[in-house]
Structure 1
């Protein structure tokens, strides 16, 4: 399934646009409809300076680390359409010493949403739809107002 989505893309110093993109969901992972996102310091640095530290924008990249949304489709029976989830923006590689020792938070090949640290850059969550690894989805109660979620 291919979906059209609108995304907030940084292209360099003070160069941000909302562009139309496509997202393809092939049944692996979880397709999220993004509801909200928080703007953090690195998003501001990418906009103001075109870089964070030594990591400069070299290609267009979707901004955004902290996002929440609802499940559209998932490969997991524990996630259902409409379920509210927070998305962990960090994705461990899973193959090196720390990941294999169940210490994936120390992964040396970690990828983060909205980061120019790697090439190609890792697109972030400031988009209408995003496919993520199911393990990145953290369900929260449907009764909670997503406008004021604090974990």
Structure 2
């Protein structure tokens, strides 16, 4: 089979390797669609992401779907259409026993360097996965659409972390895919015309198409725009989806008293200069999210019911042999979501 192995910054090599052999409890998936994520872009540009530095070449890709080719379990059969939830929890630790398996002490993750040895992901013709990672794709949902269940799950989890009342106002910092997905999900939860901040016009245009109120921080004063939109009160909730320390300071300034800040973006592993006193005097809730838990079924329902515009989200598709071109398009911000079809 063909697989796209990461060797270092901008060094992804298509190699011919043996198809994985499966053990008890595993299935072999013939990959049909795999999305390029912001995490994948970090690996592509820097050869690593955050604290995860690869110790050996491996196959990226954790947003993927396909057809079961071989199965060693009774619950899934060859020919079943599935999407993979790439987290592999132990189901035994304190967090797993309480349903928070995204915080699992022994968590493994497909298609990243978070686990050693690294577990190969979906930028390949085939991938073996534990059966517990599988979700059936609803009838009528395409493989490309189903692959979006993983990033959509992040937005769903973020919105579940805060109580959103109908008519609430929200500010989203960062209009990348996760920020835009959060915009869409927040509107489904009752937020009225979410304000969304970025400095890339293409992203802001997408945000407007999806029902957001775009703010270009290079040209506009974010705090004043928020004041104007909310009558000076500030927003009920801020979703920080950019991973920028400066955005945290903006969040603290723009949220109303008694409001909530949800930190989605991967912030740098360093001290963040912010007026933390605002958390006290405004009596704020500040919540982090670590990926997602118990969200895939909800994500697939939104896609199936056409409440999530998957077809509009997927702007580019590439073959596995075109993976370098795909990454360059993603790096330049030309794609909202680029999909690899091995």
Normalised TM-score (structure 2): 0.40
For residues 11 and 84 of structure 1, what CA distance do their matches in structure 2 show? 31
Match of 1:122 in 2: 119
Distance 2:134 2:4 in 1: 21
Point out 4+ residue stretches in structure 1 off by more than 4 angstroms.
none
- CA displacement at 1:32 relative to structure 2: 0.8
Q: How many positions carry a matched residue from both structures?
A: 147
Do residues 111 (structure 1) and 103 (structure 2) align?
no
Counterpart in the other structure of 1:17: 13
Question: How far did residue 42 of structure 1 move?
Answer: 1.1
Distance 1:101 1:30 in 2: 27
Do the aligned residues in 2 keep the contact of 1:83 with 1:142 (CA within 8 Å)? no
2:79 to 49, 60, 82: 82
Q: Match for residue 66 of structure 1? A: 63
- Judging changes above 3 Å, is the alpha-carbon distance between structure 1 residues 142 and 27 closer, same or farther for their aligned structure 2 residues? farther
RMSD across aligned positions (CA): 1.8
Identify the residue that residue 144 of structure 1 maps to in structure 2.
141
Q: Which has the higher contact order (CA 8 A, sep 6+)?
A: 1
Q: Distance in 2 between matches of 1:117 and 1:78?
A: 28
User: What TM-score do you get using the length of structure 1 for normalisation?
Assistant: 0.87
Q: Point out the structure with max Rg over C-alpha.
A: 2
Answer 1 or 2: which has greater helix percent: 2
SS of 2:32 mapped into structure 1: strand
The more displaced of 93-102 and 36-45 is 93-102
Give unpaired runs (5+ residues) of structure 2.
Answer: 149-298, 300-342
